[in-house]
Structure 1
């Protein structure tokens, strides 16, 4: 199936000489949630702005739903909805008028039924006659999503969708994004909340210094680059490690009452089985154990450090 967004050899150099993007190649599949991660100044906003037609590329091509974003601007832009990070709305307009007006900007005929459907899906229906100035920050952000969906786009960009939103409302917003994906909308989000990407994304892309560092399915990424820690709580404290266990590079903590084994997630389980046999031979017994795995945030930090 043809990608819904295809970026080829994309570059952007500003008049000042600053090269914001360097030879970007990226395909985003239909119906997925794609998280674009990167530190401040990495090029996330520039890349999104080019795809959405707000910034002109210096080199390369971008197609959105098969339309070239430069030579077929109107068709390409009509397939895209953009939810900006900043709350940019007319404070004294009603929710209904604001969302309806956004639909008209794309030349779409009036469709009150669609506007109602969007507002209901975003839990805004009972606020439809409220002026935006009376809404909470979380509600205003929902209005931005409603505006972006008003013209029935197939692609939705969310730039920091839950910035400044409290934890409970953030989780509600995650449910909204998932429901949009379930209706066939392709969702691309940038976020500083790594747990947001870990919770929602099907695939993750990392950008740093204007270059794509990697694009990977989230689960595969965490399996490939993640680390696991096995912690054993011992019956008796250890004074030192037997030589037979030196190869495992175990850490002793908790006043000698804990053994910590760190290993990559690709390592075969029989390595751990062998470790248990070695512990048994050394007369070391444990009363409890637990494992922890690297979060996406830890993997992201590692990737950015390697690319710096």
Structure 2
């Protein structure tokens, strides 16, 4: 009879030698020293470089034009993500619907806007007046218009950027929300329906609250990505942070300095968003983080005593 995989008896285990854990690893220290030296050399090279013009960077960091573009970037991000999340929830519910028409329309929307580049969508919305010179409300199929606007006056570069970012984000959020809803145990839905809840009540009170634990992390990543993606609005002169930086360096020819100014603000915004994402995830992960910390500390000495018996 094979003894492979059989644990030794207590008497045999007591005779096993106790080998201390290896705490000194020279390879790690060498790698850490090399990384530290490289980072120190890189920081020194960047700081003392005469071609970066740090005085221009400092002088333009709080320029009123830069701050205006910063607020436009924040507005684009917050509005696009808010409406995109709502659109994603609606599309995800439609995809999970038993109605073939609703399911097909949601799938078509997701397929098209996830399959075409965002840059193409932004340029399309910016040139929407070439397709529809006027936009109005009235009786369809050739009926009279009750209210009508000029498309060029209605869809400004900011509105075009907002449309492109929002609709594109809604397509991605629909897949994230759908994955979160599918992650909820079907028994939860069945139990709620057994209590007499309607489909809307089950979705709002039972399914979505439990799906948030799966939805929040990728949504946070999408928000951080949106902060940087707003820079694509610069191709249609959307008055965002990068657009303003480009206008300034076209006047003073300080291209690298103004790009550094924009990068510093992008880094600050993404850092704040990352910290916020951490606390939101921590809030929704309560009860799913494994053993409490106090229990973990109490178990550790117990495990060590067992090893030495």
Structure 1-normalised TM-score? 0.24
**Which structure: greater helix fraction?**
2
Greater relative contact order (CA < 8 Å, ≥ 6 in sequence): 2
Structure 2-normalised TM-score? 0.24
**Which structure: greater strand fraction?**
1
